Amino acid sequence: MRRRTFIASTLAAAALPQFVSAQTAAFDPTPQVVRIKQSYAPGQLLILPRSYYLYYVTAPGQAMRYGVGVGKAGLEFTGTATISVKKEWPTWRPTDDMIERDPSAYSRFIGNTEAQPGGPSNPLGARALYLFQGGKDTYFRIHGTTAPQSIGRSVSSGCIRMLNEHVKDLYERVPIGTKVTVL
C-alpha cells in the first residue's frame, strides 16, 4: 500500500462516522421548538413537503416542528388553505381519483358510498384537519396514520400524514380557521 492510499483511506475512515451520523440526523420526526422566519404569523401552519416538516408558528420567530409524510409526485397539495373542519377518529373513503388510479386496492368502494368507520385501523388515524379553499373542501387533510413508517416520505395521495400522537397534539393546538400554507 502506498503512503498516499494509506492517508486517503485513513481520512475517509475517520470522516465516515460524521458522514453517517449527519445523514441519519437529517430527518427527525420528533416534535420540537425551532426558530422560524419572523414573517410567519403566530397561529399559522407552514408545511415544507421537500423537507417533510410541518411548522405550527407559536410566537414571532418560533414554531413547533413535526415530521410528516406527504403526497407522491404529482399528487401533492400546494398553496394556501384554511382548516374548516376538525374530526376525532374520522371516517374515510378514497376519493374518486384514488379509486380510478388503483381500482384493485379500492374495489370495495366501487359503485357505492361506503366509508370506513373511524378507529385504529382507519387510514386517517386518530385525528383529521380538513383543508378548505374559498369555502370548498379540497379533499386534502392533515391527519394521523396507520403507517408510521410513511413519515418522512412522499407516499400519500396528497394528504399530510402525521404520527397519531403528534396529530392529536396539533389538533388540540389549532382552532377552526387556522391558515395553512404548503410550499
Residues designated catalytic: 143, 159
Backbone angles phi, psi at 55, to 5 degrees: -115, 130
What residue type is 112 in one-letter code? N
**Contact, 63 vs 74, CB < 8 A?**
no
First to last CA, the chain: 52
Give me the sheet containing 127-133, strands edge to edge: 32-35, 62-67, 53-59, 45-48, 179-182, 79-88, 127-133, 136-143, 160-161
Beta-carbon contacts of 108 under 8 Å, excluding residues fewer than 6 positions away, are 114
Beta-carbon contacts of 171 under 8 Å, excluding residues fewer than 6 positions away, are 86, 88, 127, 129
Please name which of 72, 27, 34, 30 lies closest in space to residue 51, comparing C-alpha atoms.
27
